[in-house]
């Protein structure tokens, strides 16, 4: 693109200027990282003091480096040949048994130098022995069982990874078995081609999160490369509806899916990738391209601020930031490498779409519509879905789905994205959902799906009923009848979100303990009769509780696991507890809480 565009008005963003800014950022940071790698024999265990030994690390950076060399038009970066370096990074991944995303990113890196391997600089830099090692890296059967047609000990969305690796390997002439390619691509898309709009990431338990959207896009990409237009046709209803869901839950700052096991940095990167996909595939757009571009701009603003120019890393492990256990310090460099690669590819794709449609400028911030609706994921014996609400300062997504563990904090039926409220990352914790301990010592929560979901008219209320409960310590997706029925009513009244729960005994029951917590991003709290005024970086939240049987306590999380949120610290927790009590058949335990956004 040309670089001599006139400056856009303050309320508008110049497409040429943001493209140039992102390209300059990518060129500078890729050169810095590549320059810091002095040798690949052996590979350093740290780059810029960040560990390089975690899963996918070298494949991730190889993909980012290749993308920059290709799109930036300079095969030599930081005074070094990128092609041979990428060959060596792939050899390292192959030798250490790199799988799944390590293979996907390595395959993408190789393809950046051309699909004709007889002219591919990476391929030509290797001898026959090294090419055999790369052949192994390009083989999805490292993590895909061809006989069972299943990924090996991985979530379902990894079928999309297997399909993309297979399709690109076939495209480059490494994989020669067309029947195998078709089998993998068909299997990957099976949930969608069988009529599902949303993909269960852990069949048959019913785990629905951001991966459903990414999975569908991966299947589309693989089917496109494989020339399977029949599969693409069957993917269209899902992609259309999933993009509408994403548009209805994304925040004005560009933060997308706000529940589940991949949050924080990933959600902002998702926005760039989703907008790029929608730029290239206009039939799935839930909004005009200029509004999508404004959201893209907001996500880029956050990503730019999150990048530490001194350490040359995204701030994934800054104070108060929480991550799932598989995102540990050994993968700090990997997270940055993956992020850089996604930014480079998304920007190149989206810049081309804007140019093709002659969009020279777009708004700084998007105009997001008000939303108040419920979207079902599954309607069976166990019902699942998400309540979406966005009106003024009242914004949240309340999913009813199954987590990686029973009652895990990232998959509870609670309002993720509500200002001031934030559950800790990957903790079994009663965040707004009480834990009930029965006489036998087993602990239960009314979570992980529902027996019945009743959306209210106009989308401003929701009811759920659970006669079967998740049991802490059991298997994901398991639910147990315990002679108690939980009926929860949610409603929005102005700037207040109200949760009322009635727990009714179906027979005589002995409860040893009842406990619930309200984790907050607030840094100060002021008790005021039955109210608690919580103030912090996200504004002021007033919590009102009506639970006469319970005692309240304000707890400081310190720097422990309960203090880690997806976007920052969760310093203060309001905890309600009740001791032993008997419920006779037909007797009810009733409590209510309201969360009011003041400013």
What are the b/e assignments for 255-269, b being 16+ CB within 10 Å? bbbbbbbbbbbbbbb
User: Measuring CA to CA, which residue among 83, 79, 94 is closest to residue 38?
Assistant: 79
In this prediction, residue 452 carries a pLDDT of: 98
Kindly report the pTM of this predicted structure.
0.95
In this prediction, residue 599 carries a pLDDT of: 74
Q: Tell me the per-residue pLDDT of 330-380, one tens digit each, with 9 for 90 and over.
A: 999 999 999 999 999 999 999 999 999 999 999 999 999 999 999 999 999
For helices 101-111 and 332-356, give the axis angle rounded to 10 degrees: 50
* Geometric angle at alpha carbon 573, from 569 and 575, rounded to 5°: 160
278 phi-psi bin (left φ>0, alpha ψ -120 to 50, beta other) = alpha
| Tokens linked to 98 | 């790199």
For helices 101-111 and 57-72, give the axis angle rounded to 10 degrees: 20
DSSP 8-state assignment for residue 389: E
In this prediction, residue 10 carries a pLDDT of: 66
- Would you give the distance in Å from CA 86 to the centre of its chain? 28
| Tokens linked to 521 | 């991003």
Kindly tell me if the per-residue pLDDT of 529 is higher than 80: no
266 in Cβ contact with 335 (< 8 Å): no
Kindly tell me if the per-residue pLDDT of 528 is higher than 90: no
pLDDT above 90 covers what percent of the chain?
97
Q: Tell me the per-residue pLDDT of 441-463, one tens digit each, with 9 for 90 and over.
A: 999 999 999 999 999 999 999 99
Sign of the Cα pseudo-torsion (295, 416, 597, 303, in order): negative
What are the angstrom distances between the C-alpha of 469 and each of 401, 436, 505, 552? 13, 10, 13, 25
Q: Which residue has the higher pLDDT, 10 or 565?
A: 565
User: Measuring CA to CA, which residue among 489, 437, 433 is closest to residue 463?
Assistant: 489
- Domain 371-597: give its CATH architecture: Distorted Sandwich (2.70)
CATH 2.70.98 segments of the chain: 371-597
In this prediction, residue 9 carries a pLDDT of: 61
| Tokens linked to 192 | 């969608």
| Complete DSSP assignment for 402-459 | --SSTTBGGGSSS-BT-TTB-PPTT-B--BSS-EEEETTS-EEES-SSBSEEEEPGGG
In this prediction, residue 2 carries a pLDDT of: 37
Q: Give the residue-averaged pLDDT of 132-157.
A: 97
The C-alpha atoms of residue 280 and residue 273 are separated, in whole angstroms, by 11
User: Measuring CA to CA, which residue among 272, 322, 344 is closest to residue 72?
Assistant: 344
In this prediction, residue 6 carries a pLDDT of: 41
In this prediction, residue 262 carries a pLDDT of: 87
431 in Cβ contact with 447 (< 8 Å): no
- Would you give the distance in Å from CA 320 to the centre of its chain? 18
17 in Cβ contact with 8 (< 8 Å): yes
pLDDT above 70 covers what percent of the chain?
98
535 in Cβ contact with 598 (< 8 Å): no
Residue 486's φ and ψ, nearest 5 degrees, are -100, 125
The C-alpha atoms of residue 409 and residue 430 are separated, in whole angstroms, by 7
The C-alpha atoms of residue 501 and residue 434 are separated, in whole angstroms, by 10
Count other Cβ atoms within 10 Å, centred on residue 134. Answer: 22
In this prediction, residue 530 carries a pLDDT of: 80
| Tokens linked to 432 | 């707004």
Kindly tell me if the per-residue pLDDT of 31 is higher than 50: yes
What are the angstrom distances between the C-alpha of 259 and each of 233, 267, 269, 518? 29, 10, 15, 16
- State the pLDDT confidence band at 578, using cuts at 50, 70 and 90: very high
Contacts for 432 with CB less than 8 Å, ≥ 6 apart: 412, 414, 415, 421, 423, 499, 516, 517, 518, 593
Q: Tell me the per-residue pLDDT of 84-121, one tens digit each, with 9 for 90 and over.
A: 999 999 999 999 999 999 999 999 999 999 999 999 99
Kindly tell me if the per-residue pLDDT of 561 is higher than 70: yes
Q: Give the residue-averaged pLDDT of 270-299.
A: 99
152 sits in which H/E element: none
| Complete DSSP assignment for 451-512 | SEEEEPGGGSEEEEEEEEEEETTS-TT--EEEEEEEEEEEEEETTEEEEEEEEEESS-EEEE
- State the pLDDT confidence band at 258, using cuts at 50, 70 and 90: very high
Average pLDDT for the chain? 96
Q: Tell me the per-residue pLDDT of 276-285, one tens digit each, with 9 for 90 and over.
A: 999 999 999 9
Q: On the CB side of 520, how many CA atoms lie within 13 Å of its CA?
A: 29
Q: Tell me the per-residue pLDDT of 178-229, one tens digit each, with 9 for 90 and over.
A: 999 999 999 999 999 999 999 999 999 999 999 999 999 999 999 999 999 9
Q: Give the residue-averaged pLDDT of 394-399.
A: 98
């Amino acid at each position: 693109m040309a670089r001599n565009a006139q400056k856009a008005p303050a309320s508008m963003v110049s497409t040429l200027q943001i493209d140039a800014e992102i390209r300059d950022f990518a060129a500078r940071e890729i050169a810095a990282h590549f320059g810091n790698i002095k040798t690949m024999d052996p590979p350093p265990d740290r780059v810029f003091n960040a560990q390089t030994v975690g899963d996918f690390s070298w494949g991730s950076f190889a993909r980012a480096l290749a993308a920059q060399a290709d799109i930036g038009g300079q095969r030599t970066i930081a005074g070094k040949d990128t092609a041979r370096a990428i060959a060596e990074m792939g050899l390292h991944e192959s030798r250490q048994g790199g799988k799944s995303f390590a293979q996907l990113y390595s395959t993408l890196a190789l393809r950046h130098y051309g699909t004709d391997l007889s002219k591919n600089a990476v391929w030509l830099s290797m001898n026959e022995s090294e090419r055999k090692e790369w052949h192994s890296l390009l083989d999805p059967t490292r993590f895909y069982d061809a006989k069972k047609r299943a990924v090996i000990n991985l979530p379902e969305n990894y079928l999309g990874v297997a399909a993309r690796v297979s399709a690109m390997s076939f495209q480059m002439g490494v994989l020669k078995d067309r029947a195998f390619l078709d089998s993998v691509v068909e299997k990957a898309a099976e949930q969608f081609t069988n009529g599902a709009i949303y993909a269960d990431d852990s069949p048959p338990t019913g785990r629905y999160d951001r991966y459903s959207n990414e999975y569908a896009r991966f299947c589309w990409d693989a089917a496109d490369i494989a020339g399977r237009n029949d599969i693409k046709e069957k993917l269209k209803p899902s992609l259309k509806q999933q993009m509408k869901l994403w548009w209805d839950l994304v925040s004005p700052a560009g933060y997308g899916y706000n529940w589940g096991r991949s949050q924080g940095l990933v959600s902002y990167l998702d926005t760039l990738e989703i907008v790029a996909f929608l730029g290239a595939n206009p039939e799935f757009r839930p909004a005009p391209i200029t509004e999508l571009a404004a959201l893209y701009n907001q996500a880029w603003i956050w990503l730019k601020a999150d990048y530490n120019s001194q350490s040359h890393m995204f701030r994934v492990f800054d104070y108060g930031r929480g991550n799932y256990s598989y995102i540990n310090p050994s993968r700090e460099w990997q997270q940055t490498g993956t992020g850089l690669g996604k930014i480079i590819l998304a920007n190149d794709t989206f810049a081309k779409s804007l140019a093709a449609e002659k969009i020279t400028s777009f708004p700084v911030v998007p105009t997001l519509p008000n939303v108040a609706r419920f979207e079902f994921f599954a309607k069976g014996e166990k019902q699942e879905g998400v309540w979406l609400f966005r009106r003024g300062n009242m914004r949240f997504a309340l999913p009813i789905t199954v987590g990686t563990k029973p009652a895990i904090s990232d998959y509870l039926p609670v309002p993720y994205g509500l200002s001031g409220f934030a559950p800790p990352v990957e903790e079994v914790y009663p965040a707004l959902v009480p834990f009930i301990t029965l006489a036998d010592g087993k602990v239960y929560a009314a979570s992980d799906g529902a027996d019945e979901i009743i959306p209210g008219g106009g989308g401003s209320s929701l009811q759920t009923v659970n006669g079967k409960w998740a049991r802490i310590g059991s298997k994901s997706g398991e639910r147990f009848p315990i002679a108690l029925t939980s009926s929860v009513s949610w409603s929005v009244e102005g700037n207040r979100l109200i949760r009322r729960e009635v727990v009714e005994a179906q027979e005589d029951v002995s409860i040893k303990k009842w406990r619930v917590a309200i984790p907050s991003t607030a840094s100060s709290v002021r008790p005021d009769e039955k109210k608690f005024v919580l103030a912090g970086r996200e504004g002021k939240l007033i919590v009102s509780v009506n639970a006469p049987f319970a005692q309240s306590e304000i707890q400081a999380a310190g720097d422990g696991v309960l203090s880690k949120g997806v976007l920052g610290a969760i310093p203060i927790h309001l905890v309600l507890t009740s001791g032993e009590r008997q419920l006779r058949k037909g007797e009810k335990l009733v409590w209510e809480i309201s969360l009011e956004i003041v400013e």
